Amino acid sequence: MDVIANQLFAGLSMASIMLMIALGLAIIYGAMGVINLAHGEFVMLGAYATWALQTYAGLGILPALPLVFVAVGAVGWVIEKVVVQNLYHRPLDTILATWGIGIILQQAVRLGVGAESRFVKGPELLSGNTEIGPLIMSNYRLFVIFFSIAVLWGSWLLMTRTEFGMKLRAIIQNRSISECYGIESKRVYSITFAYGAGLAGIAGALITPLFSTIPTMGTGLVVDAFLVVIVGGLGSLIGAATASVLIGEATALFSMIMNDTLGRIAVLAGIILLIRFRPRGLFPTETRR
Amino acid sequence: MENMQARDLYSFYGKSPVILGVSFDLDPGEFLAVLGRNGVGKTTLLKSIMGLTDRCEGGLAFGSQDILGLSTPQRSKLGIAYIPQGREVIPQFTVRENILMGTFARPDGKRDIPDYLFEMFPILDEFISRRGGDLSGGQQQQLAIARALAMDPKILILDEPTEGIQPNIVKQIEDAIVRLNRERGLGIILVEQNVPFARTASDRFLVLDKGRVVLSGKSEDLTDDVVEKHLTF
């Protein structure tokens, strides 16, 4: 019983990280139909930005979060302006272009910072564990779980309760008529892309104490995030949340019953089966095109 | 109030020109009907005014400003309201959200919905929380007009507003268009298949054929001979 409870917590913790990464991906896909293969590298940039802020400015992870959000968001904004914006009507080329951008970012960090693993210290405030009976929960992982829920909530409010969100939803449903009513779709797209990138940056910052910070860290993470987005239904926030919990818990439980490798295979098999019967994911949404 | 002036306007989809040297004038508060058979470029002409075609050449001015170089949102903010064929209300938005969307084109940034919209179309008040996609065609057309009026426009551009709409609402919509022109002084460019309505409502007309103006004049000159020659198949 203890083992199961602890595994469930581990699954939830994994889910919260996947959700943070998948959210930005889901928002960018849902809004623009862009499959952003550089998303993992945005996560990596967030992690390195956090490392740099800690090493050179002595800033802890928590105070670094807003700075990392703005910095990675700015990188995303520039990439959208320079590359992605010219490719909106060529979805296949966007995939190739963002993949290339990912490689460039990865190599730039490898050249600039080095290939060796970097260490980032977790916040003092959140060290230690919370124990409920036999269930032992790391305070930091608990914090990440609640933080990811807060980010989900915040993103949902942004999409449904603000004028910016309303403009974005209008563009998603009918771009040309939205432009006829004063909505600058290019500007809205740039901001949305930057927001998605910023979210990836925050995710990267938060996972620094849990993962090793290396230039290739994004590649593995983005695969999981893509699984979450596909299972959840492309572009759906609620879908991303549900799918990350499902996949996180399934991975944790299968790993306990079998082992990590077999558990991973079982989860992938499960996802393939699910896609066979629900090709548009659990919560399909209307997207452009 | 501004006038609109098109001079030798060409409009392209890709490399193919669809509008070939069209000129027209719309004085402030004037009502212009654009007539023609199917596929002669009427809708494209309206889209060109909004900057929705791939490319335009020639001259298009609104007031003293040349607008061909402006983006679609910039044109809308000058007070040009476009109500496309098929209405294109946002299906997932409520009636209120659809109307509110019209105010995004207001240059003063105000977000008030004028009350007279609901006097003109009481059904919208009744269905204020329904989704746009759940309304009937006629109700959607009323919503599309209300959305356009919410931006407090100077001219309205309408593309076959009564096409495919139940007859009892057609009259309401036609009356509304005439009232907006006569009482509120809105300039109107209307693409219409219904010649009798165009004749009574508009001040002037132009007939398009194969992307060119083949005839234009005062609407009282829109005789049966003209209709026979240019508008019947």
Contacts of A167 in chain B (CB under 8 A): 104
Domain, as residue range, for B113: 4-230
Number of domains in chain B: 1
User: Is B91 an interface residue toward A (CB < 8 Å)?
Assistant: yes
Angstroms from B148 CA to nearest CA on chain A: 8
B116 exposure class (CB count in 10 Å sphere: 0-12, 13-18, 19+) = middle
Contacts of A185 in chain B (CB under 8 A): 73
- Give the per-residue pLDDT at A283: 87
Q: Which of A177, A185, A287 to mutate to test the interface with B (most CBs of B within 10 A)?
A: A177
Angstroms from A184 CA to nearest CA on chain B: 6
pLDDT grade, residue A289 (50/70/90)?
very low
Q: Which of B92, B97, B101 to mutate to test the interface with A (most CBs of A within 10 A)?
A: B101
User: Is B163 an interface residue toward A (CB < 8 Å)?
Assistant: no
User: Is B76 an interface residue toward A (CB < 8 Å)?
Assistant: yes
- Give the per-residue pLDDT at A286: 57
Contacts of A178 in chain B (CB under 8 A): 101
- Give the per-residue pLDDT at A13: 92
CATH number where B38 lies: 3.40.50.300
Contacts of B97 in chain A (CB under 8 A): 166
Taking any CB pair shorter than 8 Å as contact, residues of chain A touching chain B are 163, 166-167, 169-170, 173-174, 176-185, 286
Per-residue pLDDT tens for B104-157?
999 999 999 999 999 999 999 999 999 999 999 999 999 999 999 999 999 999
Closest residue in chain A to residue B78, using alpha carbons only: A182
Mean pLDDT, chain B, rounded, equals 94
Determine, for residues B106 and A183 on separate chains, whether the beta-carbon distance falls below 8 Å. no
Closest residue in chain A to residue B147, using alpha carbons only: A181
In terms of DSSP bridges, do strands B187-191 and B31-35 run parallel, antiparallel, or are they unpaired?
parallel
Determine, for residues B106 and A182 on separate chains, whether the beta-carbon distance falls below 8 Å. yes
Domains defined along chain A, listed by start:
2-277 (1.10.3470)
Per-residue pLDDT tens for A127-140?
888 888 888 899 99
Instruction: Give A81's DSSP letter.
Output: H
Mean pLDDT, chain A, rounded, equals 92
Backbone angles phi, psi at A263, to 5 degrees: -60, -40
Per-residue pLDDT tens for B50-100?
999 999 999 999 999 999 999 999 999 999 999 999 999 999 999 999 999
Comparing CB atoms, the residue among A163, A182, A286 nearest residue B73 is A182
